[in-house]
Structure formats: C-alpha cells, structure tokens
C-alpha cells in the first residue's frame, strides 16, 4: 500500500527515511528590490517548513538551478505589483517527503520530481502535484531541461523554422540554454556557429557538434561572420544583448530570423538594458525581409509538457548532452548549500560557466530506522 499522508491531521510527521521533517528551514527571500542579487536577497535561517495542501507535494530540494533572470526577479521586473518579502528561485529537483490526500493518487513519498515554480531557493518547497514532473531518479541533469532545455526547444520549434542546411548562430553557446540550442539545431541538420569566451568553452561546443566556434575574446566576431558567412545566417539565437545583439542583427541573411531569449549583458544595470543601435532597425529589417521574435517561456506553457517529454526521452536515450556546472572552476569551489547561491549568481555574470549552473543542497538524515 502507498503511504498517504493527509496533512490536515498533524503538523509533525515522518519522511520516508524515517527522519523527522523539521519545523523550520533555510530559504532565500527577496527583502529589497535590486538588480544586485546580494543586496536584494537575504538568507533566512528559521523559516517555517510549509505544509502541503490537499493537491500538493512537499519536495525536499536536492538541486536548484541558477538562471540569468534570477536578478530580474529580485529587481521586481516581472511583476511590479509584488512587494518584498517574496520567495525566489525558479526550478528544483528533489524527493517528495509528504503530500496531500488527492496528490497521493499520482505521487508517493520518496518519489523523485522536478518542477518550475517560484520559491525553489529553499530546503523545502510546496509544489502543486499538477505542476510536478515525475523523474526516474534525482539527478542534476534533469534540472538543465526544466527552463533552459525547454526554452531552447520551444523557441527553435515555434520560431526558428529550422531545416536542413540552414545556418544558425547561437550566442553564449556554451551556457545553460545555448548548449541545447546548439544540439537541437544540429539535430535539425543545420550548420551551427557558436560564440563563446574561452578556448575551453570552444572545445566543449565542438564536442556537442558545433561546426564553427568563435571565441570573442580572441577573434573579431563581425569579421569572422563577414568572411566565413558572406550570405549571412538564417537564424540567430540571441541571449546576450547590447553589442552582440547588433552583431547578430547585422549578420542575418535575407529572410533571416533573430530570436531574442534574453539580454544578459544588461540585467545588472539599473534599467536592465544595454543600449543597442535601434534607430536603423526598420531599414535593416526591410532591406533583408528579416524578422525579430521575442521568446518568453511563460507564454508557451501549452507546449511545455510535450517539449519536456521529448527532451527527457532524448537525454535518457543518450541523444542529448546535459552539461551541469557546479562551480568547480569558481574561486569558492563547488556550489553547495543555499549560502552558495550568491556565489553561483556572481559566477554566471562573470561568464565562467560551461553548461547550466546548479547548486546542490546536501541533506543530513537523522534516521530513526
């Protein structure tokens, strides 16, 4: 028989390893609106562990994902009506340690799940069962697919019009979503060009199939594109903004498409933006019959489950590399514990990461078994 924990009866219960779920936990909370993550966010040591409602799961987080937009969230850029304090962190992977009665129809204590929901930078998060994704095991690789993988998959499928032989430029190609844009474009039999900031990243990009890597620290991106791709690129998958946006725009072929999934170069500015040369935009687009499309994952949630199912199948079938970066190249060493989320965000903004930045939350079990 499946263990069912109806939370309406008891504030104190046992998790599946026989250890008491504590009454308090650590979590990160936005206490002041700022694009400076360290200024905006406070580590609370003794927040109450939330209780799952009838249709909810209580997930003990084991891995949480870092996203460039964490600082947009801490700056209050997504919803002007939300005032601090509020929870932060977009995605997590962990074990179900308790659940409501109706949630137990589909889930069981001890099950591995992933989710996308605000409030993952905490030891425990309540997740509606409908929003959870059951997993075969708790692995950080699954976390790379939740936001980063799904963003690349849906944006390229819906907006990219990829087909064999098309030239695809991916900026920040060795990053969390860039790694998937490269691989998915290769699977569509495209020729893929990736920009990156080091030879180590270039080596990683070649290993996942990138045809031409451009290290913008040692090569002039504009010159390389003009020389090697005089006809231009058919699709630019752009997440950097500022000068890189201008370069990508200028490199479009006739009928080329620029997909904007972010502009990380500006997020640390008070406005969240970095200037681009937009005055000539109408003329540039008209001259090439080109287009610019913005992509924000929240607007494509109807496609999400299908995308995730396909990505999980590809990963489990060995057809997709899900590179995880735990900060081993950072000065602080591996990102472990909620305290290290601050370092992990800094690490992302100095552009050191290869793949998706993930923080591990270690769990000590006081087993009574």
List pLDDT tens digits, range 52-107. Answer: 888 999 999 999 999 999 999 999 999 889 899 999 999 999 999 988 888 989 99
For the segment 244-253, what is each residue's pLDDT rounded down to a tens digit? 999 999 999 9
- Record the tokens describing residue 124, joined without a space: 């425990």
- Please report the pLDDT score of residue 5 as a whole number: 53
How does residue 15 score in pLDDT terms, banded at 50, 70 and 90?
very low
Write down the pLDDT at residue 54: 87
Beta-carbon contacts of 219 under 8 Å, excluding residues fewer than 6 positions away, are: none
Tell me if 120 sits within 8 A of 92, measured CB to CB: yes
- What confidence score (pLDDT) does residue 20 get? 67
Q: Which long-range contacts (CB under 8 A, 24 or more apart) does 280-287 make?
A: 281/249, 284/249, 284/250
What's the rounded mean pLDDT across residues 300-309?
Answer: 96
**Token pair in block for residue 194:** 């990736």
- Is the pTM higher than 0.85? The answer reads yes
Partner residues linked to 167 by β-bridges: 191
Tell me what percent of the residues of the chain surpass a pLDDT of 90. Answer: 85
- pLDDT given at position 23: 85
Element (H, E) at 135: strand 133-135
For 279, phi then psi, to 5°, come to -60, -35
Q: Is the peptide bond prior to 53 cis by the omega test (within 30 degrees of 0)?
A: no
């Amino acid at each position: 028989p499946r263990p069912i924990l109806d939370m309406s009866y008891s504030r104190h219960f046992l998790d599946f390893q026989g250890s008491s779920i504590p009454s308090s936990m650590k979590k990160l909370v936005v206490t002041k609106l700022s694009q400076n993550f360290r200024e905006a966010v406070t580590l609370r040591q003794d927040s109450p562990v939330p209780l799952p409602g009838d249709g909810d799961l209580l997930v003990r987080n084991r891995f949480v994902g870092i996203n460039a937009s964490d600082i947009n969230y801490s700056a209050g850029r997504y919803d002007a009506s939300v005032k601090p304090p509020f929870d932060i962190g977009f995605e997590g992977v962990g074990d179900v340690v308790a659940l409501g009665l109706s949630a137990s129809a589909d889930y069981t204590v001890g099950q591995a799940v992933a989710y996308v929901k605000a409030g993952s930078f905490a030891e425990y998060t309540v997740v509606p069962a409908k929003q959870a994704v059951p997993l075969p095991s708790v692995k950080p690789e699954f976390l790379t697919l939740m936001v980063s993988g799904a963003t690349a998959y849906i944006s390229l499928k819906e907006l990219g019009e990829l087909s064999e032989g098309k030239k695809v430029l991916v900026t920040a190609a060795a990053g969390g979503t860039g790694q998937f844009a490269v691989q998915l474009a290769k699977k569509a039999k495209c020729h893929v060009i990736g920009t990156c900031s080091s030879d180590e990243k270039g080596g990683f990009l070649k290993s996942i199939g990138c045809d031409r890597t451009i290290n913008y620290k040692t090569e002039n991106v504009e010159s390389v594109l003009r020389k090697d791709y005089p006809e231009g690129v058919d699709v630019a998958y752009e997440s950097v903004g500022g000068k890189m946006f201008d370069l990508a725009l200028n490199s479009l072929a006739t009928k080329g498409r620029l997909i904007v999934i972010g502009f990380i170069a500006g997020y640390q500015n008070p406005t969240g933006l970095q200037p681009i040369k937009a005055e000539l935009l109408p003329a540039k687009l008209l001259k090439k019959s080109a287009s610019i499309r913005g992509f924000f994952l929240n607007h494509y949630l109807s496609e999400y489950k299908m995308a995730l199912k396909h990505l999980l199948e590809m990963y489990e079938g060995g057809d997709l590399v899900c590179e995880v970066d735990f900060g081993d190249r950072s000065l602080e060493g591996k990102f472990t514990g909620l305290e290290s989320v601050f370092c992990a965000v800094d690490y992302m903004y100095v552009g050191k990461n290869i793949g998706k930045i993930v923080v591990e939350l270690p769990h000590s079990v006081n087993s009574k078994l």
